[in-house]
Every structure is written in C-alpha cells, then in structure tokens.
Chains A and B, each alone.
Chain A
Amino acid sequence: MTSARRKTYGVKGAPYLFLLPATLLFALFFALPIGYALWLSLHKIEVKGLGLGKGARQETWAGLGNYADALSDPELLDGALRVLGYGAIVVPVMLGLALLFALMLDTDRVRLAPFSRLAIFLPYAIPGVIAALLWGFLYLPDLSPFHFVLDKLGLPQPDLLDGGPLYLSLSNIAVWGGTGFNMIVIYTSLRAIPAEVYEAARLDGCSQLQIALRIKIPMVAPSLVLTFFFSIIATLQVFSEPTTLRPLTNSLSTTWSPLMKVYQDAFGKGDTYSAAATAVIIAVVTLVLSFGFLRAANSRNKQEEAR
C-alpha cells in the first residue's frame, strides 16, 4: 500500500517537475520583463526644485496618467496612421508578389528553379538596416542612379524621400526584403499538395491557370493567412527602415512610427515611464489586430468546411 501510494505521488509530481524549466524560463524571460514594463508604465519621475543634487528625483505612482498622456498625444495617432498607410502598400504588394512567384516556381515549365528561388529569397538574408542604408543611397537625389537616368532623359525627378513617394520608398524596402521569405512559406505549402490532386484536375481538363486559381490558391489559403498575420505584425513594428533613413531627409521625424516614438521617449528624452506605457498600448493593439484577424480567418474556414 504505502509503496503504491508513494508511486502515485511520484507520478502526480512528475508533470510539475517537467513543467518547471519551461515555467521558470517563461517567468524569467517573458513574464518578468512584461511585468516590469507594466510597473514602469504606472510610475513617473518627480523632480523637486532645480533637480540638482541628491534625492532631487523620486519615482512616484502615476496611475494611468502615462496611458492618458500617450493616448491623447496626437503624434502617436499620426504615427499610427502613417504606419497604416505604409502597411496598406506593403502587405498587399508583398504578399501578392510572393504568391505570384511561388505559383510561377511551382509550374512544371519553370527553368532554373533553384537559382530563381534563391535569388528571390536572398534579400531576406540581408539585415533590415543594411537594406535601408543601401536603398537610402539609391534614393538620395545627388547619388541616385535613377535620378541620373531620369535627368539624362530629360524627365522630372521626383524626390523619393518626401511626401507620397516617401511611403513608396519605404514600402519598397520592406517588399524587397520580405517577399522572398513569404514566397518560401507559400511555396513550401504548394509543394505539400499531393500530386494526385493535379492529376485529377488535368484529367478533368483544367489548364495551368485554372489549376493555379481553383486548386493551388484555395489549398494554400492557411499559409496565406499565416503570412498575412506575420506581415501585419511586422508592419506595426516598423522601426529600423525609417530610423535608418531619418538622417537623410527632413521628411522623416524622430516619431514617424509608433515604435520610433517609444524609442525616442526612452532614449531621446529619457522618459522610460511614458515609453513603457506607449509600448504596452502598441502591444495590445498589435495583439487585438493580429488575433482578431486570425479568428476571423478561422471562423471563415470553419464555415466553409461546414458547407
């Protein structure tokens, strides 16, 4: 009896033991930093008098003050709108191109497939900052080969780092860097479609185009959802491209995107507290948007399955 009971105890305890490392790591490297950020976001610094010398600064409870400040700051909303505009260009163009390339690579008649695949994927391997620097040089009027050619042809030369073209220039960097990755994801799931599906389609007299539109695209829909999901998150977090291009032009402010504002608040103005509050807001919005989208996509799938 006793030994049997001990055995049950041991078995009961085992799952917790196995869970321990993961829980510890989760707590240390995930929950704790998030908790600290939340704690910071609810506090602020208060200075007395001239603020020079000892004890002049004190951390005090701020309640939701930092959140109220962040939400009422027009610059944050403007930044969100700018990023929305940028995302409206990046996501459709990037995913459209990725899908197109994946479908083209998946046709039987394609030549040099491994080379093309690598060539399209390669930009993804280049760090975002390097890519932004590279394109930045190409955009600058005095250095740009585009401008040189346009100038020689006597055509007008738009300023690629200002106004509307600025959005296109920024989007171009993201599309250039991200298309390859998304293409690989879609392509992989295309390869996973069993050959007999195509065979049956061909026997029924489907053309290549019809196969692509009626069979391939519906069957890779889950990976399209996934890539869309990743792209939304990446867009909301855009930081390194505009930050790298900022010194090159007067048109990009230090708070162009919401994340740039967080960085500026924390390291430019030294106000970690409001930076933490803004960061929490961005995280919540990102979660709501991306999971909202996932849910919507899932429920649609289920409906279709039910049909």
Chain B
Amino acid sequence: MPFTLRRRLRPAAATAVAVALGASTLAACGSSDDDSEEAQSGPVSLTYWTWAPGMDKVADIWNKGPGKKAQIKVVVKKQASGDTLVTKILTAAKAGKAPDLVQAEYQALATLVSNDVLADISGEVEGVDKEFAPGIWQQVTLGSDAVYAIPQDSAPMAFYYREDLFKKYGLEVPKTWDEFAETARQLKKKDPGKDLTTFSANDSGLFAGLAQQAGAKWWTVDGDKWKVGIDDAATQKVADFWGGLVEEDAIDNQPMYTPAWNKALNTGKQIAWVSAVWAPGTLTTAAPDTKGKWAMAPLPQWTEGESVTGSWGGSTIAVTNDSKNKAAAAKFSTWLNTDPEALAALVKEGGIYPAATAAQTGDALSQAPEFFSNQPDFYTEAAEIAKNTAPAAWGPNVNVAYTTFKDAFGKAAKNKSDFGAALTTMQDATVADLKKQGFEVAE
C-alpha cells in the first residue's frame, strides 16, 4: 500500500510465467549434491532477498560470527514486500538466476513450489521442526515429507481496541463474535458518528485469518486432486457475520490503509481493529497521536470459552533450486530463525514476531512495544494467544482467490449486499482458475 508502512507481508501475487525449469535446477540429488559439497569446502557467498527492515544488520552478526567460522558470507538484497517479490522470484527462477535465499509468505509457498522454485531442504534441517508449533511447521512442508522453508515470523491475530474510549462509552471487551456485534451496535447508539471498526475488502489476508479461526480449510489435497473449500460452512459463517454488520450499518465499509482510515484511527472515529501481532508497527505510523491508548485482547470467539485464533501474514525463509550452495543456505536460514542471538536481533532490528516457540517467551520479547507501553505484558499475552493458532491450508493459486476477494467483497461492501454471493464468486473463480491451468480438482 502506498500510504502506510506495513511490516506485515502482503498477499502473494503471481504465478508468473512457469516453464518447467529443467536440468539446471536439480534439487537434492546426484551431481548438484556434489557441487554443493565442493562449494562448501571453499568460502561461499549467498544472496538473500528480503523486505524485512534491518536484515542487513542481522546478516552482519552472522558474517562476523558463525558465518566467518563456516566461511559462508550472506549478502542481503533489500526487496519490495510480499506480492511483488513473488513475481520477481518467479521471473528470476525462469531465467535460472534466483538468489540463494528468499523471503516468502506462508501462502506463497505452494505457488513457488508448484513453479519448482524452492528446494526441498529436509535433509539439511533435521530436528528443526521441534523449534516451531506444529501448525506453523505444517505450512512449510505443505503436508508432505519435504521441507520448503524455515518459518521466520508468525502473525497470530488479536483484537485491538482503544482502552480509553471503551471506558468512556461504557463498552466491554467482546469475548465472542456475538458480543462483538453487540458492542458495535451499542457504540452506534451512543455516538452514531463513531464506528467500532471497518470491514475492509482490500486485504484478503485478514478475511483468510478470520476464516481460519472459524475452522475453514480453503485448499486441501484429496488423493491426487485439489479440493477448494472457500465457500465452506465456516467461511460462510464469517462472511455472513461481517456482511450483516455492514448491511445494518453497525460498522464502516471503507477500506483500510487509506489516509482516511489513518485519520479515523488517529482521531478515534474508529475505536477498534481486528489485527495481528504486528499491529503496533502499523498503528505507530497510522495513528501516532493514540500512543499508549490502545490495548490488545484475544480475538472474539465463535464458541464461548474457546481460545482459537487465525493468522494474518507471517513469512518464511526458503532456499531456491537455483542456489549452488543449498546446504550452506539451509544452514543460514536455520541459524537466522532458531538461534537465540539471531532471534533477538530479528526482534530488535526487524521488529519481527518470531515464529520459533522459544523466542516468543524469551528475553527478546520481554519488553512490550513502545506504542503499547501501557500494556507491559503485551508479548506474554501474545504468546498465550499464539498457542492456539488454527492451521492454515494454502493452495497453488492463493493469488487468484485473493484478487477475486478484493473485487467481489469490495463490491459487496460498497453495495452493502450479500457477502455470501461474493464468497461464491471467490470459490468459483478459484476453482475455474485451477481447472484452466490443468489441476485436478475434486468437486
């Protein structure tokens, strides 16, 4: 988005041009293995594409410490975030010139694997899976025996609200979605000029996360076929819920990340935001005047007493098939995302919420973000929320589903019309695209 600097990773785009890459990109067999062993004996230089801020400083720690010992030097090349980078990686891979290491969002992995860009590094990272929650690790294996990336950050979702304004209007922090709807209506009654929040159609990741929390599985594998469940009962429930709120004008229907949205947050016209653990960064730039006035609470639940959350964003570091030093690259990726020193640097320099379980309760996150200095146990709370993150199920054309979401839900939000119909459009477009590409799709 042009208007706010977001730490989060933007939805994946593109499966750009995909020619089977051929012989130059053999993964973990035969001659290429010998190559990497040979390369390992001398000094190795790895190129690393990332958009996370401060990553050059983290790489410096490696280059001066463990990297120096292993004679593996990492060169960071700063990139544009999320969707644009996926396109760039695919194009580079087509030319056989992809960098050794790339940052990729969880939902982009299937697209990249399907284009034969990522190397299977399962042989190099044995035992690393124990460092991560199973729900997260499953996303980098795509449910197979292969390992396509090491998780870097995770983004469990939470409910953010203006503590002061909730008190002023006598509102309770909603524990269930029913209470959430009731809170929105109460606020409208007390001050019609205010909104609890908005339903934004310009970031599909939020909706995907909310659907995950409700138990949705958008892409699943059924034998040799893909099954698309975007319009499953769980997602339908989520769509109807938000569509209902928009229809009765209980919440706003304008997109996020616009100057108007920034202003609404900054002036207290909108007093809550369903977001993820990276929200403090966004709020710092979007609503600087509200520092210290926000608080984080667990996401409202569908069933009272539960504590499930979804993910909105988060990324991984993967090794490409074009890399001549896959073992070295896997070694760095593992260090970067599991070593305590590296994790501390990731938090400090990159403002990242690490995916590694140990780091979430470790020293690195002992202090709350500055914007949330009023909530000193911010990260303790976050770790508690993260414990029960619903697994995500991504497929090879997330990009198509996400694009269709923007258009279909944008239109529905604007017209305050049936969100269920928009969801059907999303399902149909996703299935049609899979079939057009030749994927086997289970009905």
What is A's interface to B at a CB cutoff of 8 Å?
Answer: 40, 45-59, 133, 136-137, 140-143, 162, 244, 247-251, 253-255, 264, 266-272
Contacts and interface: CB of A to CB of B under 8 A. Distances in A.
Given A57-B115, A247-B1, A269-B400, 15 more contacts: A45-B438, A50-B224, A52-B142, A55-B116, A59-B18, A141-B260, A143-B259, A143-B263, A247-B3, A249-B254, A250-B410, A264-B403, A266-B16, A267-B87, A269-B399
24 contacts: A47-B439, A50-B221, A50-B225, A51-B396, A52-B113, A52-B396, A53-B113, A54-B27, A55-B20, A57-B18, A57-B19, A57-B20, A59-B18, A136-B259, A140-B260, A141-B260, A142-B269, A247-B255, A247-B258, A251-B410, A251-B414, A266-B16, A267-B87, A268-B14
Contact of B440 (A49, A55, A251): A49
Interface in B252-296: 253-255, 257-260, 263-264, 269
Contacts of B399: 268-270
Contacts of B406: 253-254
Nearest to B407: A253
A174 B304 CA distance: 54
Contacts of B263: 142-143
B87 A247 contact: no
B438 A47 contact: yes
Contact count band on B: 35 or more
Contact of B20 (A56, A140, A244, A266): A56
B2 interface: yes
Contacts of B15: 269-271
A248 B255 contact: yes
Interface in B109-133: 110-111, 113-116
Interface in B399-426: 399-400, 403, 406-407, 410-411, 413-414
A78 B350 CA distance: 44
Interface in B375-417: 396-397, 399-400, 403, 406-407, 410-411, 413-414
B407 A48 contact: no
Interface string B1-44: 11100000000011111111000000100000000000000000
Contacts of A48: 438
Contact of A142 (B83, B224, B260): B260
A257 B15 CA distance: 22
Contacts of A55: 20, 116
A274 to B, nearest CB: 9
A148 to B, nearest CB: 12
Contacts of B202: 247
Contacts of A268: 13-14, 83, 399-400, 403
Contacts of A59: 18-20
5 interchain residue pairs of minimum CB distance: A270-B15, A270-B14, A250-B414, A250-B410, A46-B438
Contacts of A264: 403
Nearest to B412: A250
Contacts of B346: none
A45 B111 CA distance: 14
Contacts of B144: 52
B321 to A, nearest CB: 9
B207 interface: no
B407 A254 contact: yes
B245 interface: no
A269 B433 contact: yes
B328 interface: no
A49 B221 CA distance: 11
Given A49-B440, A269-B399, A270-B15, A54 B116 contact: yes
B90 interface: yes
Interface string B224-245: 1110000000000000000000
Given A50-B224, A267-B16, A162 B437 contact: no
Contact of B403 (A46, A250, A269): A269
B214 interface: no
Contacts of A136: 259
B192 to A, nearest CB: 16
Contacts of B113: 52-53
